């Protein structure tokens, strides 16, 4: 369905989150690198990579307010509850 997708896996294993786990999908093909999700996230979940695209480096900090999704002007960001592996597998079909 959606052509290009990116998933960044969280690597810090020591810290435990008080919120349920979420996964972030960023569609680079649609993203226009405006930086709204990176700058306006109150929990600093995202960073900008060297090409200017957002990358979710701390999904464990996410409190699931959903403002990054609703403020993304290009529908390029999607949050999926859980690890999101099933969704990713379905989308490959």
Contact 38, 57 (CB under 8 A): no
* Residue 65: closest CA among 92, 83, 45, 48: 45
Kindly state the smallest distance separating residue 42's Cβ from another protein, in Å: 12
Pick between residue 81 and residue 85 the one whose CB is nearest to another protein.
81
Among residues 57 and 77, whose Cβ is nearest to another protein?
A: 77
The C-alpha atoms of residue 57 and residue 10 are separated, in whole angstroms, by 6
Place of tokens 């002007």: 73
List residues near another protein by CB under 8 A. Answer: 1-2, 29-30, 32-36, 39-40, 64-67, 69-81
Shortest Å, Cβ 26 to another protein: 12
């Amino acid at each position: 369905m959606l052509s290009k997708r990116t998933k960044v896996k969280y690597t810090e294993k020591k810290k435990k989150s008080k919120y349920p786990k979420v996964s972030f999908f960023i569609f680079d093909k649609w993203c226009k690198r405006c930086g709204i999700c990176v700058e306006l996230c109150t929990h600093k979940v995202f960073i900008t990579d060297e090409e200017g695209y957002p990358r979710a480096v701390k999904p464990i900090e996410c409190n699931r307010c959903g403002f990054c999704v609703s403020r993304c002007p290009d529908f390029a960001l999607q949050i999926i509850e859980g690890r999101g592996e099933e969704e990713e597998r379905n989308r490959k079909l």
